[in-house]
Chain A
Amino acid sequence: MNPPQYILLSEATTVEDFVDDPVFTDVTHDGEIYTTYRIVRFTHEIRGHHDDWSHLVNVSLEFAVGIGVAYLRIRNRIVEDSRIKPQSSDSGHS
């Protein structure tokens, strides 16, 4: 299997270029805990990822202070799934 391609996006792109709503909720702990984030910037488009992640983005917590990086699966301008990337890892594997 080929490794996924990460295509660096121009800083000129805006969040609105990719999604209708920049706010999404990540679900963790066996579907129990809901944490809401805001997409700050799309940094990479991902192609050929075995988990179907389509974009890598910078995020901030919507109701608390904190920043991070998230893998997103975007279809029809909707965030269908997300995984907040651990700070020490860059694999994107779940």
Chain B
Amino acid sequence: MNVLVCNDTAEPLDSLISVLRNNSNITNVNVARNGRQAIDALHSAPVDVSVSSGAGLDFNRMLQRHIAPEIASALTRVVATQTPTVPLLVKAHQFGFNNVLQLDRNGDEVFSTLQRTLHGEESLVNHPVVKALHLTPGALTRSITFQDDNDHYITELVGVGLPDHEIAEALQLTIQMVRNRIASILRVNQLSNRTQLALLQNTNWQIPDFA
């Protein structure tokens, strides 16, 4: 198993790195200390599992947009954290992570969790809290698809917090049309609710590459 650890300063994963390096079942442990290193590592050699810290969750979500689709789709992504809180679990699920790993485990337990996650035997999707929420996995990793300019404008205004009737007034559309369009955007993009659309619109960032 080849593992890439995205090690950030906010929640360092040094102890996990040494646990992984001392485990004979793990072939290679690569460590990235910034986004560019992570992208280069993923494109230069096969990686089975990438591990990020809970603190690096938002950054890692953005990073996904800069990885070649064939690599991103084959990658198993795990969040490692001392405190797997409910918000972290839900966020990780919505950001397309496969599992959450608690950091106080020994080497064999860590390997077992990573291997079971890699083979789809253990997944965030099956966590009781996540399961009860009926959310689409990875919903907040997508880019929103728009059918026309009106869809785009409506979503921009949903993203700044306007209610439907104010969007209708601002764009000089009928309330009936605004709601039909929002329903259509939610359906086409497989989103569960309006808040997800607003959130996705506001986190639809790309990292500028100045290199």
Residues of A within 8 A of B (CB): 21, 23-25, 27, 29, 31-36, 63, 78-81
Contact = CB atoms under 8 A, between A and B. Distances in A.
Contacts of A24: 176, 179-180
Contact of B183 (A31, A34, A79, A80): A34
Nearest to B196: A32
A24 B186 CA distance: 15
A92 B194 CA distance: 26
Contacts of B182: 25, 34
A80 B145 CA distance: 26
Main secondary structure on chain B at its contact with chain A? helix
Given A63-B187, A78-B175, A32 B180 contact: no
Interface size class on chain B is: 10 to 19
A79 B165 CA distance: 12
A63 B190 CA distance: 13
Nearest to A27: B179
Given A25-B182, A25-B183, A63-B187, A33 B176 contact: no
Nearest to A76: B174
A28 to B, nearest CB: 10
Interface in B47-95: none
A36 B174 contact: no
A79 B179 CA distance: 10
Contacts of B186: 34
Contacts of B174: 78
